[in-house]
A and B are shown apart, each in its own frame.
Chain A
Amino acid sequence: EAGVAQSPRYKIIEKRQSVAFWCNPISGHATLYWYQQILGQGPKLLIQFQNNGVVDDSQLPKDRFSAERLKGVDSTLKIQPAKLEDSAVYLCASSPHPPTSGRNNEQFFGPGTRLTVL
């Protein structure tokens, strides 16, 4: 079974530039998550999708971050304009069960995109 795919793996940009990350979840997984992991910290949830609908985006800085999951499969996360503090690894994860299902719900993570903002 193929895992969660993410691209690019690394990205270096200057502040105020724009950047986009792509995620392809495990086939059949309805729930998709984007996390931000700053160096020395644990992953922090940015946004959670159930199929192509947003379940939780309360921690997404909406003035500069946006995300979409067209057709309920692939997802893109965009930052515009980027700030120095956005330097982090952006992780995408997927899980087979809907949130609030009450079912044990392991999340499967992709390798991440390491963003450096100069």
Chain B
Amino acid sequence: DQQVKQNSPSLSVQEGRISILNCDYTNSMFDYFLWYKKYPAEGPTFLISISSIKDKNEDGRFTVFLNKSAKHLSLHIVPSQPGDSAVYFCAATNLNTGNQFYFGTGTSLTVIP
């Protein structure tokens, strides 16, 4: 049962434009959401997170939006840079019931110079 879904396996954008990566979840008990970035042959690295009490969190070029009613979150990267080319995973958890992360299947982002 896939509780976190990323329906776009890949995305290509031009350098300098906005990248929007989407994630949907089914479990209403999730209260904390994270985005991880993964380069080939490396482990995932934390990018940005958001608590369910917020609807937006911004860190430099990265902004995560959360729509609880739609059970949807998105990651915006503005402006996109070639170094952003990687696989992006969203993850969800409930901080009070064990912090098990449920990951989506990932979206491979390619930023074209």
Contact = CB atoms under 8 A, between A and B. Distances in A.
A48 B98 contact: yes
Given A41-B105, A42-B4, A44-B103, A109 B95 contact: no
Interface in A73-110: 91, 93, 95, 97, 99-110
B44 A109 contact: yes
A4 B43 contact: yes
Chain A contact surface mostly:
loop
A104 B11 CA distance: 29
Given A104-B51, A106-B49, A109-B44, A45 B101 contact: yes
Interface string B66-103: 00000000000000000000000101010111111101
B34 A106 contact: yes
Dominant secondary structure of chain B at its interface with chain A: loop
A95 B99 CA distance: 10
7 contacts: A33-B101, A42-B105, A55-B98, A100-B96, A100-B97, A101-B99, A112-B42
Nearest to B97: A100
B8 interface: no
Interface of B: 4, 6, 32, 34, 36, 41-46, 49, 51, 89, 91, 93, 95-101, 103-106
Nearest to B93: A105
A93 B36 CA distance: 13
A21 B55 CA distance: 40
Nearest to A91: B43
Of listed B32, B43, B91, B100, residue having the most chain A CB within 10 A? B43
A99 B99 contact: yes
Nearest to A112: B43
A14 to B, nearest CB: 24
Given A104-B51, A111-B42, A42 B100 contact: no
A112 B46 CA distance: 15
Contacts of A33: 101
A43 B87 CA distance: 12
A107 B52 CA distance: 18
A88 to B, nearest CB: 13
Interface string A31-75: 101000000111111001000000110000000000000000000
